[in-house]
Structures are given as C-alpha cells and as structure tokens.
C-alpha cells in the first residue's frame, strides 16, 4: 500500500489514491463503558484501521479534559461554565458570561499567546510536538478547537440571545465577533508559523433538521470571519478542513466558499443521495458515519450495506472521499465489529 501521507493527499486532491482514508475514533468515555479487553481485541484484529496497535497490559488510566469531568464544573478562558454528566463526554455551557450586554465593557478576552479556545496553551510544547509528524512522514495537522466562532458566540451570549442579537443587529455583536475573530486568527497564525500543513476549522452549525442560524445570518455574521480565518492557511498552502455536524445543506455552498479543500458532513442527517448530487466530485468529502440510527440500532448486515452504499455513491477511483466514525457508549459490540469490518472491507473498494 501507498504510505498514509501520500495516499491522503491524493484523496484530497482527486489524484487516484490507492485506498479510501478511514478513521475510527474511540471516544474516551468508551473506556469505562466497555470492557478494555473487548476494545483491545477489536483494535488488534483490525490492523488496517489501527496499524501497529499493540495491547497494553493492565487498565488504561484515561485522562479527561477539565470540561469532560463529571461532577466538576469548569470555567473556560472565555468565562463559560461547563458541566457534564459522564466522564469523557464534552459538557454543555450552563452559565454564559455575557448573558447581559451590561457586562460588555468589563468583559476580558483571553490572551491567544497563553490560551486556546478551551484551556491554557503551551506554545513551546506545541512547537516541539509540531515537528514530530514531519519526522515520521506525516502531515503537520493543526487547527482551531471545536466551536471556534458561532458556537463560542452562543456560549458567551446564550443561543437565543445570540439569534436575537443577529435579528436586532446589535452593534455590540459586531465588536464581540471581531474580538473572537482576532483571538482565533492569532491561533491560526501561530500554527502557520510552526509549519502547519493541514488546518482544521471544526464547528457545528446544523440541527437535526436545518441549520442553527439562517443562511442570511450565516452570510452576514459568520462567513466573513470564516473567510478571514481560513485565508492565511490557504495562502500558506495548507489543506483547509471544514468540520460541521448536523443538517448543513442550506449552508454547504457558503462553507465551501471559505477556501475549503475538505468538508466533513454527517451522512444520514444530510442524506447520502443529497451529498452525492451536490458535493461528490466537487470537493473532497470526509464523511462522518451515522451514530444515531443504523450503527446504534441496526444489524451487522445493515451496517455493511450502509458503508457500501456510501462508498459506491460518494466515492470514485479518482479520490475525493474519506470516512470517519466516532464511537460513543451505547453501540453494541457486535455492531462495532461489523462497522470495523465494513470500513476495512470497503477501504480498498477501488483498488
């Protein structure tokens, strides 16, 4: 097989990769919901998905981020209070620091030289880590933390407040957007200065049906920031990866218009046929495989049929398709195995 780095670039650039890049991510909460031995066995028996995996003797001591710790509230650098009910699952914001605009004049923006979106930043350590991928022939993959713009604004103001701000054209909102954008732009520039080759911009804009804001609101308030945030990475020759969960069909064209090389939509909520008609062959799709329906409640045969259908309808010998699955607690182990089997089976579908 072609090495992972070259194959990935060929898939993104429609240059006939040898295989479809497949990524299987196990959420850290899984390690206390499933038996470690069971997950270890699945990983060890699927070397195409987990190359070089070796079982670790003893129990894995999972380190959770502060915003993933059940029973412990956490205040991020922006003043948002996070809480979760399950270790390893990202919580939700239960207190918004700017719920009232009366507090705006005294609101302090974190220093991007010392902070990321969610916690402290050690740029000296980042600099050391950034050299490691290149040393072993992989892309230097960097990016903003999840929820960098729209979701951050909603966390600061509260979702309903934010939508009313947009409807009312609150002048303070423009200033808050600028503050968030300046912070994010500094983070992006740090990574570019360190030699980033791939920049991710992960943010969820979709609900189960439709987006969380109207296309007009997105174009007026969010898209200009997106374009300014992705422009330096695009200019530096980075691959620009745009992740967005939920139904984003009404926003897809605008997201692609933000210098995107890859778009990372969910499959069933947007519709496989819609994705095939509107995106396949036009831009590289990093397809987020269903976690709500078939992989959770379906049969192994239905899971295999789902992956085959997605590869056949969205894939091409020329490239342009990647696939990713995020395992969370609640999926039966037989379905986990069926999904791993299918991802490995269809990874080389076009070989």
**CATH code for position 287:** 3.20.20.210
> What percent of the chain stands above pLDDT 70?
97
pLDDT (mean) for 276-286: 98
Confidence category of residue 140, pLDDT binned at 50, 70, 90: confident
Q: Which residue has the tokens 């933390």?
A: 145
Chain-wide mean pLDDT for the chain? 95
Is the predicted pLDDT of residue 143 greater than 60, yes or no? Answer: yes
> What percent of the chain stands above pLDDT 90?
90
**Cα three-residue angle 151-142-205, rounded to 5 degrees:** 20
Asked if residue 335 belongs to a domain, the reply is: yes
* Measured distance CA(7)–CA(4) in Å, rounded: 5
Contact 225, 180 (CB under 8 A): yes
Contact 212, 150 (CB under 8 A): yes
DSSP for 76-101, written as a single string: -TTS-EEE-SSTTS--EEEE-TTSSG
**Cα three-residue angle 335-200-91, rounded to 5 degrees:** 60
The per-residue pLDDT for range 29-87, each reduced to its tens digit, is 999 999 999 999 999 999 999 998 988 776 676 889 999 999 999 999 999 999 999 99
Asked if residue 59 belongs to a domain, the reply is: no
pLDDT (mean) for 17-33: 96
* Measured distance CA(17)–CA(350) in Å, rounded: 9
* Measured distance CA(65)–CA(169) in Å, rounded: 36
HSE of 82 in the Cβ direction (CA atoms, 13 Å)?
23
Asked if residue 282 belongs to a domain, the reply is: yes
Asked if residue 160 belongs to a domain, the reply is: yes
Which one has a higher pLDDT value, 84 or 139?
A: 84
Confidence category of residue 131, pLDDT binned at 50, 70, 90: low
Write the Ramachandran bin of 209: left for phi over 0, alpha for psi from -120 to 50, otherwise beta. beta
* Residues of the domain holding 257: 4-26+37-47+122-347
Q: Which residue has the tokens 């991510």?
A: 25
Is the predicted pLDDT of residue 207 greater than 70, yes or no? Answer: yes
* Measured distance CA(213)–CA(215) in Å, rounded: 7
Kindly state the tokens that stand for 147: 């929820």
* Measured distance CA(100)–CA(106) in Å, rounded: 12
Asked if residue 196 belongs to a domain, the reply is: yes
3-state secondary structure of 315: coil
**Sign of the dihedral defined by the CA atoms of residues 222, 225, 229, 234, in that order:** positive
Confidence category of residue 135, pLDDT binned at 50, 70, 90: low
21 Cβ contact partners less than 8 Å away, ≥ 6 residues apart:
4, 7, 8, 11, 322, 323
Give the total number of structural domains in the chain. 1
Asked if residue 321 belongs to a domain, the reply is: yes
- 239-243 and 198-202 as β-strands: parallel, antiparallel, unpaired? parallel
Helix (H) or strand (E) holding 109, with range, is none
Write the Ramachandran bin of 106: left for phi over 0, alpha for psi from -120 to 50, otherwise beta. alpha
Please count the other Cβ atoms lying within 10 Å of the Cβ belonging to residue 276. Answer: 17
Q: What is the pLDDT of residue 1?
A: 66
Confidence category of residue 192, pLDDT binned at 50, 70, 90: very high
To 10 degrees, what angle do helices 171-193 and 150-157 make?
130
3-state secondary structure of 312: helix
pLDDT (mean) for 305-321: 98
Nearest to 203 by CA among 217, 218, 220, 186: 218
Q: What is the pLDDT of residue 271?
A: 98
Nearest to 180 by CA among 236, 125, 219, 221: 221
pLDDT (mean) for 285-307: 98
Helix (H) or strand (E) holding 129, with range, is helix 123-135
Asked if residue 156 belongs to a domain, the reply is: yes
Confidence category of residue 128, pLDDT binned at 50, 70, 90: confident
Q: What is the pLDDT of residue 77?
A: 98
Asked if residue 21 belongs to a domain, the reply is: yes
């Amino acid at each position: 097989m072609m090495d992972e780095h070259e194959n990935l670039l060929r898939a993104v650039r429609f240059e006939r990769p040898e295989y479809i890049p497949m990524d299987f991510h196990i959420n850290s909460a899984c390690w206390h919901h499933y038996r470690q031995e069971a997950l270890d066995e699945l990983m060890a028996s699927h070397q195409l998905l987990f190359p070089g995996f070796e079982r670790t003797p003893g129990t894995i001591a999972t380190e959770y981020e502060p915003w993933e710790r059940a029973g412990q509230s956490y205040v991020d650098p922006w003043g948002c209070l996070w809480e979760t009910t399950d270790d390893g699952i990202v919580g939700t914001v239960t207190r918004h620091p700017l719920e009232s605009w009366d507090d705006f004049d005294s609101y302090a923006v974190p220093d991007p030289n010392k902070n990321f979106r969610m916690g402290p930043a050690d740029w000296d350590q980042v600099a050391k880590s950034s050299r490691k991928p290149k040393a072993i022939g992989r892309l230097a993959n960097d990016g903003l933390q999840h929820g960098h713009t729209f979701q951050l604004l909603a966390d600061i103001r509260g979702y309903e407040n934010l939508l009313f701000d947009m409807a009312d054209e609150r002048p303070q909102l423009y200033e808050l957007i600028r503050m968030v954008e300046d912070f994010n732009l500094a983070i992006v520039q740090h990574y570019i200065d360190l030699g980033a080759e791939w920049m991710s911009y992960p943010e969820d804009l979709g609900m189960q049906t439709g987006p969380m804001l109207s296309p007009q609101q997105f174009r007026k308030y969010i898209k200009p920031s997106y374009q300014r945030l992705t422009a330096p990475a695009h200019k530096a020759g980075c691959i620009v990866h745009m992740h967005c969960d939920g139904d984003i069909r009404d926003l897809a064209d605008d997201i692609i218009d933000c210098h995107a090389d890859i778009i990372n939509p969910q499959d069933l909520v947007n519709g496989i046929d819609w994705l095939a008609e509107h995106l396949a062959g036009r831009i590289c799709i990093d397809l987020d495989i269903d976690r709500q329906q078939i992989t959770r409640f379906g049969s192994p045969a239905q899971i295999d049929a789902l992956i085959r259908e997605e590869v056949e309808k969205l894939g091409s010998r020329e490239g342009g398709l990647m696939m990713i699955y995020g395992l969370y607690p609640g999926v039966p182990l037989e379905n986990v195995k069926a999904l791993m089997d299918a991802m490995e089976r269809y990874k080389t579908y076009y070989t």
